[in-house]
Amino acid sequence: MTLHRLIFVALLGVFLAPAIPADLHLALHGEPKTLDPWLAADESADAIAYLTEGVLIRVNRYTQQMEPELAASWKTSPDGKRIVFQLRQGVKFPDGSPFTSEDVVRSFERMLDPALHSPTADTFKTEHGAVKVHAEGTYSVIADFPAPTASIERLFDQVAIVSAKAAQRPAPGLGPFVIDERRPGVSIRLRRNPLYWKSSLPRVDGVVFDIEQNRDLEYLRFRRGELDLIEKLSPELFDRLAKEMPGAAIDAGPTLDSEFLWFNESQRGDIPDAKREWFQSAAFRRAISLAINRADLSRVVYRGHASPAAGLESPANKLWFNTALKPDPFDPAAATNELSRDGFRLDKGVLRDRHGNPVEFSIITNAGSKTREQMATMIQQDLGKVGVKVTIVTLDFPSLIERISRNMNYEACLLGLTNVDADPSEMMNVLLSSASNHPWNPSQKTPATPWEAEIDRLMLAQAATAGYHARKTSFDRVQEILHQQEPVIYLLHPNALVAVSPRLAGAKPAVFLPHTFWNAEELTIAPGRQGGAQ
Amino acid sequence: MKAARIGAILLLALVAAGALMPERWAAGRYDQQFRELPDAPPSAQFPLGTDAVGRDRLSRLLYGTRVSLLLAPAAALLSCLAAGLLGGIAGYAGGFTDRAIVSAADFFLSVPWLLLLLIVRACLPLDVSPAASVAITFALLGLMGWAAPARIVRAAVASLMDSEFVLMARARGYSSWRVLLRQLLPNVTPVLLAQFWIAVPAYILTETTLGMLGLGVAEPLPSWGGLLRELEGVSPLDQPYLLAPAILLAAVVGSLQLILPREDYPV
Amino acid sequence: MNSEPLLSYRVSAEYRGKGAVLRDVQFEIGQGEIVGLVGRSGEGKSTIASSILGLLPLKGGKCTGWIHFQGRDLLSLRDGEMRRVRGKAIGFVPQSPLAALNPNLRLRAQLDEAWRAHQEGSPDWKPLLQSVSLPDEVSFLRQYPRSLSVGLAQRFQIALAILHRPALLLADEPTSALDSVTQGEILSLFANLNRRYGIAILYISHDLASVASLCHRVAILHQGTIVECGLAEEIFARPQHEYTRRLIAAIPNVPGRSNLDAGGPSSDESRARGILAEHGV
């Protein structure tokens, strides 16, 4: 009896072993709001779309270079208004139907449909009209732009090409994985696309995303071997992992992200006139910047895993960073000088403006972010040394957004920006004075200052130019203006801190998003996973 | 039992002494950043090490004790006063007033108070000093904590209203105010007192929860809640000294429970 | 005794949802007279006490009729006026003396409270305590009710009840919680107070024997009506009503019962009858 059972169990083991899929395990920090790739606007939806959708041109996250994907090749016209794509032949959708130019044309039509409100579509729309895409034969597609547009090709990295024939929504895509099972609030499993056009890829059977909001739990599950990758570690957890699992913690270097502080320069909102006067003074802003010890912020808050910022572009952006700019030094004496030139004076440790008002303001930041709270605390102390009194208010994210983008009832805000793409055109929605995301003074009808007008002009000019050098010259000037005026006081560029399980082979963490699974199709998992339960 | 109570009182006295004179015990002020020594392990200079931005943990713990132990009882007092007033009125008046107040209490109990607190805090002006923000946080806690004790007070008052001696008081011609103040109040006081002692540790813990969410006491003021946040994502086995605020909290709450008046009052 | 009665009572009462409890109950109490109101529990005795004090609404009851007392109809008084009658002109001695004391107030405070309900300052407590045979010491008044015996508590209740020298004392089963020795003491205390201060007493009890020894007149309450009323001796000698006879029969051993039986109608009885006749009994 016992022997029989033993044999049975052994046989069971033999038969079941190959059935356990070799899945890649990761955590998402929230439920994806949509599975429609054209509507993806959150981190989770972007991750799913990245792995399940095929695009014409892929920006390699590691080399930052464009690579042919569904388009085997492409050619941009000299005037920068037309791109001709030659499509890859023999590609099949997961349902077996062939991929043709019709799919590309229909995908663009649907994505650009105003009724869909696709955020991706916005990048293809200009004041002169939207892009027009038409087929020429089964394997050739022509995209016509109403005006010359800079580095258009990179934009195609964002456009998922889906089946024109399939009735289901969202229609099947051409990525390495397809959605297998969705358990709302628990997990999403993707399985390998058996008809993926890169033969013999992906190497793993699937990708399981567990919905896990708590980053400490994410960390513990990684330590237990239940997760294979962590996209973003806090500096503390990174240092802890580096101690506990040397080799698994990887600092991929500075990202395009930045942490920054800005003052409310809007005419709206409930701010005393005296304060508005300070905030609109470039000398005041520069003095504040000089009084903040960026090196300390990096060393203490990020434990060295961040570099002081000179402007909105990170040195990691090799193509576009203005190398002439240096981060503001920590120089309280210079800050005091700058302030006294602007009519401020230090009176028994309290800085007063020309009218005698003590200089004090509040910095809002989002609650629950340890790094930002620590930065705010350190800024509070730094500014205290030049006589500025800072109050820190942590707000939940929706209230924060309400204040900085709608009712404008705030004085200064400490936040960060995650840059997805490295191209200056991606910055339009922040830098144009008319943009709703223009942080310090959004949605201006006409530029409030000459230098904002100049930035507007330069940004529009570079966007309408095809040549890199001309664009670079314009964008360098934009960075220079921002550095002189400091409407936003850029503090740090945090490094990409990721975790990669030692069982994983082929991982090449990149500073672009997604940091770790951008090459998911090439990753392999060593057998012998322990406790890798779903 | 007696020894335990004396021990508890001694401990509380010690904590109070520490909290009242942090400078006698600790190396720096609670907000002084020793930036060359962030996250330092315990040393002679910093017996509990330093926090992420290099502030002396012992100093922060002692000062945070002052903040938490001063304001939690204040908030408890506030909620007990509100509970006494509203619960008392409900039990005394009965009828429609009673139903209205009980419904309001039920509503308050069912409200996700954390969310409410978030909303209220978000609506507050930004330029409030850290001290004021602390006071506001606890005042909100106190104001929102009236419902549960109010129901208990109401029940107590309602049963007192049916009691012989209240009827007797009326038979002797006492005015309503005298019945309320001299007959009901002395009998509700032990109930309120018990509620107060329950509320104090509860509010300390609630502030901790808020602190965990980064919505507690504003920087740079320390509070127990803010200090407990340091335990997030850290293995306490590696840094056992981080447990100091948790141990102190447990000890103080336990001591408060020990010295709680345990006498059974006839009601 | 005056010809004008101290209290003239004619009331029907009911409780919400329970129907009528008193059906046109009528009786009178003369100045300085002790009237016993007898009936088993549930006959409506306490309702009569509550109605006189105007506390029936608190118990969810209401009454119609009149209660003439010192020239006023208590039922038509406003709340404030009625409050000044309670405890001042009409004292009340409860059934359970301990439960009727506030457990969290010292006796001194309770005494002061009772005094301040109607007068400024504080009472002269020494003679008061002496008059009810309580220790006239400060230490006694420093106690909480929980350290009192039932007998002491009842003496204290009586002290509170006579604090303002009321014209009428309502005693609702004042001895039912006491042992028989203490019962006797309390009864003689009532008799004593009646004699010394001329306080009229409505003595409510289920115990015919104790009533007989104390009261001048007795009214028998049965099913919400007064079935018989007369001089104590008369009732015992010639019970008219079946219910009265059963009450008498239930008394285990009444000393001097044969004496009472032998007694004849007195002049007092005819006078009492006359009073009752005025009101149509």
Greater pLDDT, B262 or A118: A118
- Residue B260 — very low, low, confident or very high, per pLDDT cuts 50/70/90? low
- pLDDT for the residue numbered B24: 66
- pLDDT for the residue numbered A533: 39
For residue C232, list its beta bridge partners: none
CB C104 within 8 A of CB B186: yes
CATH H superfamily, domain B2-264? MetI-like (1.10.3720.10)
Q: Does residue A290 register a pLDDT over 90?
A: yes
- Residue A288 — very low, low, confident or very high, per pLDDT cuts 50/70/90? very high
Containing C37, the helix (H) or strand (E) segment is strand C34-38
CB A312 within 8 A of CB A488: yes
Q: What is the pLDDT of residues A457-501, one digit of tens each?
A: 888 888 777 778 888 898 999 999 999 999 999 999 999 899 988
The structure tokens listed for B177 are 């105010």
CA nearest to A68, candidates A198, A233, A212, A257: A198
Shortest CA gap B181–chain C (Å)? 11
Could you tell me if residue A281 is inside a domain?
yes
Mark out the alpha helices in chain C (DSSP H runs): 45-53, 79-85, 107-116, 125-131, 138-141, 150-161, 180-197, 208-214, 232-237, 242-250, 257-262, 267-278
- pLDDT for the residue numbered C202: 93
- pLDDT for the residue numbered A534: 36
Could you tell me the CATH number of the domain that includes residue A513?
Answer: 3.40.190.10
- Distance (Å, whole) CA A371 – CA A368: 9
For residue C228, list its beta bridge partners: C220
Cross-chain Cβ contact B178/C116 below 8 Å: yes
- pLDDT for the residue numbered C261: 38
Burial C132-158 (b: 16+ CB within 10 A, else e): bbbeeeeebbeebbeebeebbbbbbbb
Cross-chain Cβ contact A399/B118 below 8 Å: yes
- pLDDT for the residue numbered B230: 77
- Chain B residues within 8 A of A295 when measuring between CB atoms: none
Residue type, A244: E
DSSP track, A501-530: -TTEES----SSSSTTTTTGGG-EE-S---
- Distance (Å, whole) CA A202 – CA C208: 104
- Chain B residues within 8 A of A361 when measuring between CB atoms: 127
Could you tell me if residue A246 is inside a domain?
no
Same domain assignment for residues A295 and A414: yes
Which backbone phi and psi does B141 adopt, to 5 degrees? -55, -45
Nearest to C146 among B163, B164, B266 (CB): B266
Nearest to B214 among A293, A367, A399 (CB): A367
CB C128 within 8 A of CB C207: no
Cross-chain Cβ contact B186/C105 below 8 Å: yes
**Chosen from B163, B165, B172, B189 to mutate, greatest number of chain C CBs within 10 A:** B172
Cross-chain Cβ contact A391/B126 below 8 Å: yes
CATH H superfamily, domain C7-278? P-loop containing nucleotide triphosphate hydrolases (3.40.50.300)
Same domain assignment for residues A45 and A87: no
Task: Specify the pTM.
Answer: 0.69
Report the first-to-last Cα separation within chain B, whole angstroms. 26
Could you tell me the CATH number of the domain that includes residue A123?
Answer: 3.90.76.10
Cross-chain Cβ contact C94/B186 below 8 Å: no
User: Over pLDDT 90: what percentage of chain A?
Assistant: 17
Q: What is the pLDDT of residues A20-63, one digit of tens each?
A: 668 889 998 888 888 888 877 778 888 888 888 888 888 888 88
Distance of alpha carbon A57 from its chain centroid, rounded? 19
Could you tell me the CATH number of the domain that includes residue A421?
Answer: 3.10.105.10
Could you tell me if residue A182 is inside a domain?
yes
Mark out the alpha helices in C15-54 (DSSP H runs): 45-53
Q: Does residue C3 register a pLDDT over 70?
A: no
Q: Which of A6-10, A107-111, B36-40 has the lowest mean pLDDT?
A: A6-10
Cross-chain Cβ contact B126/A393 below 8 Å: yes
Distances (CA, A) of A525 to B29, B154, C33: 52, 64, 107
- Chain B residues within 8 A of C55 when measuring between CB atoms: 167, 170-171
Q: Does residue B266 register a pLDDT over 90?
A: no
User: Count of domains in chain A?
Assistant: 3
- Residue A1 — very low, low, confident or very high, per pLDDT cuts 50/70/90? very low
Cross-chain Cβ contact C55/B267 below 8 Å: no
- Chain B residues within 8 A of C103 when measuring between CB atoms: 165, 187, 265-267
- pLDDT for the residue numbered A531: 42
Q: Which residues does B contribute to its contact with A (CB < 8 Å)?
A: 31, 33, 35, 38, 52-54, 118-119, 121-122, 126-130, 133, 213-215, 218-220, 229, 232-235
Nearest to C113 among B182, B187, B267 (CB): B182
For residue A171, list its beta bridge partners: none
CB atoms closer than 10 angstroms to residue A240: 19
What is the residue extent of each domain of chain C? 7-278
Q: What is the pLDDT of residues C178-193, one digit of tens each?
A: 888 888 888 999 999 9
ipTM (interface predicted TM): 0.78
Task: Read off the pLDDT of each residue in B31-52 and give the average, rounded to a whole number.
Answer: 82
The structure tokens listed for A423 are 């191209």
Same domain assignment for residues A115 and A264: no
Nearest to B214 among A293, A394, A409 (CB): A394
Q: What is the pLDDT of residues C49-85, one digit of tens each?
A: 889 998 888 888 888 899 999 888 988 888 888 998 9
Nearest to A367 among B133, B213, B233 (CB): B213
Q: Quick check: helix, strand or coil at residue A172?
A: coil
Q: What is the pLDDT of residues A404-432, one digit of tens each?
A: 888 888 999 999 887 766 778 778 778 88
Segments forming the whole domain that contains residue A44:
19-52+175-228+501-534
- Residue A521 — very low, low, confident or very high, per pLDDT cuts 50/70/90? confident
